[in-house]
Amino acid sequence: MSLIKTAEKKHIISLKDLSPNEMLEIIDRGIEYSDNRVELGHQLKGKILGIYFKKTSTRTRTAFSTAALRLGAQIIAYGPNDLQINTGETMEDTLQVLSKMLDGLVLRTAESPEILRAFANQKRMSIVNAMTEDEHPTQALADLTTIKQHFGELSGLEIIYLGEGNNTTTALALAIAKIPNMKIRFFTPPNYNIDPILLQYAKEEGIRRNTIIEEFHDLKNLPKESDIVYTTRWQTTGTSKLDANWREIFEPFAVTQELMNKFPNAVFMHDLPAHRGEEVEPGVIDGVKSIVFQQAENKAHSAKAVLEWCIG
């Protein structure tokens, strides 16, 4: 009797774990899906994917659900109250059981990503981090897919980000650190900065590739040129603000038309959901320079690339 050796499953827990070549492979494949250059339906045929979201989601949950279905997989969706975690079962035990039944699990939880990392040693079920409190890796993959599709390349581009230092900004820093000759400057309100340990890691990785990653708390440091202006909503999922007057603190970091006029060649990006009149003026997000809905659509195409890379 012959034995069939199954391929070891791959995971996306943090962008720190991906090599530059692996990340670019996923980005380029996402562009191929976005450009309708891939025949669908066979990549995940016969696979079963779990979708577990403990936190709210519109784009990420829909992206991975539709991506799995279009690639031929079946899905089982779990809501925040569906699993026995709510009755006291540990996340470790839950993942252990699910790994006996599923080929992959896409999850958004409030738990530490270290729990996901610890369990990634098993070889039966791929794990995709659909957002933890400190990193949103699949958002950054979708963002770079959109940027490369729009500009034709990544190297040489400059980005400015305005707003809170959150899991999206951390993921952007970690992703861009793997690309040569890029610049991203984060402008965050005082006391609402990016995690300093992860930021320092990204800076050091970027230096190895002549990529500049910086954070400022004063808009006087705005550069004279930028290809992209990026923001996120101020009320990040699952977080609270330190200051009662936080809106006044954040107000100077809003993306206005006046700000966009300083960068006439720049496009505008936002990971959504957006609160018009807060972090961005309606005329910016709904204007001709905005590519936010291309960015949102590419979450589904990038999700196809992620699932194919992990499970296919």
In this structure, what token pair is assigned to residue 125? 């079920």
Architecture of domain 15-136+303-310: 3-Layer(aba) Sandwich (3.40)
- 139-296 and 15-136+303-310 share a CATH fold: yes
Which residue matches tokens 């909503």?
233
pLDDT in tens, 272-286: 999 999 999 999 999
CA distance 61 to 67: 10
The domain limits of the chain are 15-136+303-310, 139-296
Give the confidence band of 187 by pLDDT, cuts at 50, 70, 90: very high
pTM score > 0.75 for this model?
yes
Radius of gyration of the chain (CA): 19
**Looking at residues 74-85, what average pLDDT do you find?**
92
Which residue matches tokens 């770079």?
144
Q: What fold, for 139-296?
A: Rossmann fold (3.40.50)
pLDDT in tens, 82-140: 989 889 998 888 888 999 999 999 999 877 777 788 777 777 899 999 999 889 999 99
CA distance 270 to 296: 9
